């Protein structure tokens, strides 16, 4: 989700939102005074919390609903939104504006809460690598710890950036370090490199007079984290990706480029794709701390906000998403049409420094949603099917969609799971939907962790592909 709407209202909007979301959370649990840097996990739970919402009826095609790991207290409030997902072994890690939850998914039909950590922030974008877990903080706070409060744009600035946890024992995650970054961290991307992990931090929406986040902000922050000494993590580079400032404003609903929203890396191919508000970019990441822009594209006719990117397995094609309306609006309607708030499919042509992005086609879910249903293209990943380019993707209240983009000019949906409209006054639907070891896991903002099974024959070959770790923004190849 965009979260930070436009630069001139960035701080006031975020502060108001987070105050609303976390007002109840911080009163629900407490952190022991003797260990202020180590948030206390909630005990395991096997039943929904009292008063938890019952999922409404759903419709589906070529997708079977396997299970729901319902949200647990204190994250079972409507304002405690689930966000992104990461995976390691038999565990799924679910970000939430109040912290994060660890699920045991050894039996996908019975996801079980192992631990919960209360650590409020926007958006708590989450990833894991080895024994380390990373959270993005995209709001000013009084300090780096989980016990900090809303900070506000004071003269000395406030803290926002990346929090790092040790998950050697997933039953007791332990806060170990934090790194402040300019304009915070809306999302982040892990680039493993031997004994180190590089973290590409995407942030945007600077504001005049706000210390640590003033314009121009045409860069990303790169953090180097030594695996054996995460407390030594620090920013090692802040490369400017838009030397000319990127796309300019005054284009109605189209956003001016002032940073990036999300970056996906493909380490084996030494490539990255950046979704940067008004621009889509292709990067050479041969040198992790010094990425180079190879090509840049814009779509001032249909793309309002370049949100995220996914490569195909060969890395000769990439799907960019457009988050028109910021995730809070209903744009999956007949009036909006099939090309706005959609996906754009691009081929990567050429070689070496001559590689370029070439537009091929759009894809948008073919089911119109109700006027009150927030719906737009959001987070997904590649389904490792042999001989096909298939992706699973979240569409908020548009549900979960599976589509085949092997023919980029004729992209076809081959499956979907779509709940009835959420009857409430809050954001709802699938934030992220990712394929992992035979199942699709969807982080439902209101209901919890959905487990789904794709039944379309085109995706059957993916069943045999297994991995030990998945961060959707760090792609790895699979053998066809």
Give the tens place of pLDDT for each residue, 327-378: 999 999 999 999 999 999 999 999 999 999 999 999 999 999 999 999 999 9
Whether the pLDDT of residue 14 is over 70: the answer is: no
pLDDT of 10 > 70? The answer is: no
CATH class, domain 7-470, is mainly beta
What is the predicted pLDDT for the residue at 52? Answer: 46
Kindly write down the DSSP assignment for every residue of 192-261, as one continuous string: EETTEEEEEEE-B---TT-TT--S---B-EEEEEETT-GGG-EEEE--BS-TT-SS-S-BTTBPPPSB-S
Q: Mean pLDDT throughout 206-225?
A: 93
Strands 132-137 and 161-166, how do they pair? antiparallel
Q: Give the pLDDT of residue 251.
A: 53
**Could you tell me the pLDDT band of residue 1, with boundaries at 50, 70 and 90?**
confident
Provide the pLDDT for residue 255: 74
Q: How is the chain split into domains, by residue range?
A: 7-470
Segment holding 13, helix H or strand E: helix 10-22
Whether residue 250 is predicted with pLDDT greater than 70 in this model: the reply is no
Percent of the chain with pLDDT over 90: 80
| Environment class of 287 (CB within 10 Å of its CB; exposed 0-12, middle 13-18, buried 19+) | exposed
Across the range 20-38, mean pLDDT stands at 37
Closest CA to 341 of 396, 386, 382, 259: 396
What is the mean predicted confidence (pLDDT) over 448-474?
Answer: 97
Neighbours of 54 (CB within 10 A): 7
Q: DSSP secondary-structure letter at 460?
A: G
Q: How large is the greatest C-alpha to C-alpha distance in the chain, in angstroms?
A: 60
Q: What is the pTM of this model?
A: 0.92
- Name the residue among 222, 204, 221 with its Cα closest to residue 213: 204
Q: Residue 254 — pLDDT band, cuts 50, 70, 90? A: low
Give 319's strand partners. Answer: 310, 345
Please say if the pLDDT value at position 13 is more than 90.
no
**Half-sphere exposure (CA, 13 Å, Cβ side) for 475?**
26
């Amino acid at each position: 989700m965009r979260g930070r709407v436009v630069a001139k209202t960035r701080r006031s909007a975020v502060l108001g939102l987070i105050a609303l979301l976390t007002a109840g959370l911080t009163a629900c649990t407490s952190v022991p005074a003797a260990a202020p840097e180590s948030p206390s996990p909630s005990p395991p739970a096997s039943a929904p919390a009292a008063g938890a919402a019952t999922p409404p009826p759903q419709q589906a095609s070529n997708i079977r609903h396997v299970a729901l790991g319902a949200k647990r207290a204190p994250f079972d409030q409507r304002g405690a939104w689930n966000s992104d997902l990461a995976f390691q072994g038999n565990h799924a890690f679910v970000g939430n504006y109040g912290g994060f939850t660890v699920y045991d998914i050894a039996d996908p039909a019975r996801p079980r809460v192992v631990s919960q950590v209360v650590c409020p922030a926007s958006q708590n974008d989450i990833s894991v690598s080895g024994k380390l877990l990373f959270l993005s903080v995209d709001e000013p706070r009084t300090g780096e710890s989980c016990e900090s409060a809303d900070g506000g744009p004071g003269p000395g600035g406030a803290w926002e950036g990346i929090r790092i946890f040790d998950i050697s024992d997933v039953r007791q995650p332990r806060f170990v370090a934090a790194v402040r970054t300019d304009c915070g961290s809306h999302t982040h991307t892990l680039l493993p490199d031997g004994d180190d992990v590089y973290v590409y931090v995407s942030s945007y929406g600077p504001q005049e007079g706000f210390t640590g986040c003033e314009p121009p902000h045409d860069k990303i922050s790169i953090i180097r984290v030594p695996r054996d000494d995460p407390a030594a993590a620090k920013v090692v580079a802040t490369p400017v990706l838009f030397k000319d400032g990127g796309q300019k404003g005054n284009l109605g609903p189209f956003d001016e480029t002032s940073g990036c929203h999300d970056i996906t890396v493909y380490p084996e191919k030494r490539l990255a794709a950046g979704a940067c508000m008004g621009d889509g970019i292709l990067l050479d990441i041969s040198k992790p701390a010094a990425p180079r822009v190879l090509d840049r594209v814009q779509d001032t006719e249909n793309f309002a906000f370049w949100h995220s990117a996914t490569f195909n397995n060969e890395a000769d094609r990439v799907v960019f998403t457009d988050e028109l309306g910021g995730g809070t609006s209903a744009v999956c309607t007949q009036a909006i049409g099939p090309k706005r708030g959609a996906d754009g499919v691009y081929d990567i042509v050429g070689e070496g420094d001559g590689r370029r992005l070439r537009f091929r086609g759009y894809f948008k879910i073919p089911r119109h949603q109700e006027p009150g249903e927030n719906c737009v293209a959001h987070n997904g990943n590649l389904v490792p099917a042999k001989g096909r380019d298939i992706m699973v993707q979240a569409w908020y209240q548009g549900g979960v969609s599976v589509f085949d983009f092997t023919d980029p000019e004729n992209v076809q949906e081959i499956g979907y799971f779509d709940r009835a409209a959420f009857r409430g006054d809050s954001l709802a639907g699938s934030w992220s939907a990712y394929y992992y070891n035979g199942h699709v896991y969807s982080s439902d903002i209101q209901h919890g962790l959905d487990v789904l099974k794709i039944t379309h024959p085109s995706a059957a070959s993916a069943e045999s592909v297994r991995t030990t770790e998945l961060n959707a923004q760090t792609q790895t190849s699979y053998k066809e």
